[in-house]
Amino acid sequence: MKNLWTTAIGILAFATTFANPPATISKTLTWQKETTVQLAEDSEPLTIWRFKDAVYNEQHPSLPYFSQRYKLDSYSQVSAVFAGAEFEPFEKKATPDDAVLSGGIPIIISVEKDRQDYFVRVSFIPMRKTTGGQYERMLSFEIRLSYTALPEPVTVRGGHTFTSVLSDGDIYKFAVTETGVHKLDFDFLKIQLGIPVESIDPRTIKIYGNGGGILPELIAVERADDLVENAIEIVGEDDGNFSSGDYILFYAEGPEKYYYDPDKQTFSKPKNFYDTRNYYFLKISAGNGLRIQDQASLPGSTYTTNTFNDFIRYEKDVSNLLHEWTYGEGSGQQWFGDYYKATTSRTYDDEFQVNGLVATAPAKLTAVFAGRIENGSSGRYTITANGTTFTSNNFSPTGGGSTDSFASVQSISGEFVPNDSQLKIELNFTKGNNAFNEGWLDYIEVNFRRQLLLLGSQMAFRDVNTIGQPVSTFQLG
């Protein structure tokens, strides 16, 4: 059976490539009779759902994917939305693979490089599960695509750097834990890093680092081939001496990085499960370092705002579920926080305190949970955000055997209007009277609009409404 999935993945990677990027994709899916296979001698038979030209994924092998690849004219950002779709209900036995099914069908967009050309791959599972538990499969669809040309990523393969920037000079490594503007003063350089600051020319100081976030796991993802020099400012360097009142200012990213989803128009900052710090290198060597340059403000603002997009993510890494399992010793990258069993309800108002919340602007909520539900029973989460209640699908039930799934994952996504000066979040776990059933919270994330008020010594702000505007003005209150 292993060869079945290896072949399927090969199809997903190399088949159905088309010459030109389309504005729309319109298809009719021809569904075929499902097939039942047994992946191992001690496993339950698995029903494989099929349609013509379907491909499969090892992570949830019973579910078929639509996947096609199109050649791009150049490196681009690609977005896709369904312009229409037709469904029909069908009977299906619940399986652990159903954790990826919900009322919506997310389109997976990936931009790939093959030799010197770029391609966009459009993939999705043409099946959904309604909030009432009914399974539906897609009969036909139309997808509308849009393309935004982007500068070529930094070239790293085929243009290797064989001499590291750290191969000469005096090198000092230091760590940061937060994203923002950092100050390195005389005492930090001398006492913490051990730099003989009295005897150096500060103009020869350079700082290298490649930003924060988790390093790419896929080999095809472009990345810098060596450490990149960061532009910095050194106050007091003009005299060629680093005096006690001089200091370095530079922008650094911590271990966790902000990400923007252009389709959902939401921001996120997932946890870095490898490290709690990010590292930079200070180098003193011949030649002047890269410095921040002044840039004049542009005239003729086309958009003015005194509010911005902000978000809060509540996430605690406490439990690795396979470590809790009798048959396991811990595995995987996903960790969970708050535990729900004896406690089935919690409020998170304190974790979502906001200064200057725009009460009338829509907010977007995402939450992810795990549930361990005994066969024959049901369990799900509901989350209430400022009076609006969202309910997850039921978790897939599981047994207690060594070949059973330990737990399944469900998520909630929705939009609400706060109509209040504060966010009010309450989470409830419905598990019935079954003592076996238990649940875990992965994270809750809320995107919202906020007044542009300076709080603290520095703050980051952004506004999705500035996209496409030539010049924007932010009015700080």
Q: Are residues 169 and 269 in the same domain?
A: yes
- Each residue of 147-159: pLDDT tens digit? 999 988 765 455 6
What band does 399 get if pLDDT is binned at 50, 70 and 90?
confident
What is the reported pLDDT for 19?
A: 61
CATH label of the domain that carries residue 89: 2.60.40.3800
Place of tokens 């503007």: 181
Give me the domain span that covers residue 355. Answer: 308-451
| Distance spanning both ends of the chain, measured CA to CA | 63
Q: Where are the alpha helices (DSSP H) in 370-427?
A: none
Q: Are residues 278 and 316 in the same domain?
A: no
- Reading the block at residue 149, the tokens are 């040309």
Please indicate, yes or no, whether the overall pTM of this predicted structure exceeds 0.75: no
Q: Are residues 198 and 136 in the same domain?
A: no
* Alpha-carbon gap, residue 223 to 213, rounded angstroms: 13
Q: Are residues 205 and 103 in the same domain?
A: no
What is the reported pLDDT for 333?
A: 83
Q: Are residues 180 and 235 in the same domain?
A: yes
Note whether residue 17 is domain-resident: yes
- Each residue of 48-76: pLDDT tens digit? 999 999 999 888 889 999 999 999 999 99
Note whether residue 378 is domain-resident: yes
Higher pLDDT, 20 or 21: 21
- Each residue of 330-343: pLDDT tens digit? 777 889 999 999 99
Q: Are residues 445 and 339 in the same domain?
A: yes
Cα–Cα distances in Å, from 467 out to 134, 262, 450? 39, 10, 18
| Nearest Cα to Cα of residue 446 among 317, 273, 266 | 266
- Each residue of 263-305: pLDDT tens digit? 889 999 999 989 999 999 999 999 999 999 998 888 889 999 9
Q: Are residues 214 and 143 in the same domain?
A: no
Number of structural domains in the chain:
3
Mean of the per-residue pLDDT values of the chain: 89
Q: Are residues 316 and 363 in the same domain?
A: yes
Give percent above pLDDT 90 in the chain. Answer: 65
The residues with which 145 forms a beta bridge, in sequence order, are 80
Note whether residue 174 is domain-resident: yes
Q: Where is mean pLDDT largest: 35-39, 152-156, 306-310?
A: 306-310
Note whether residue 143 is domain-resident: yes
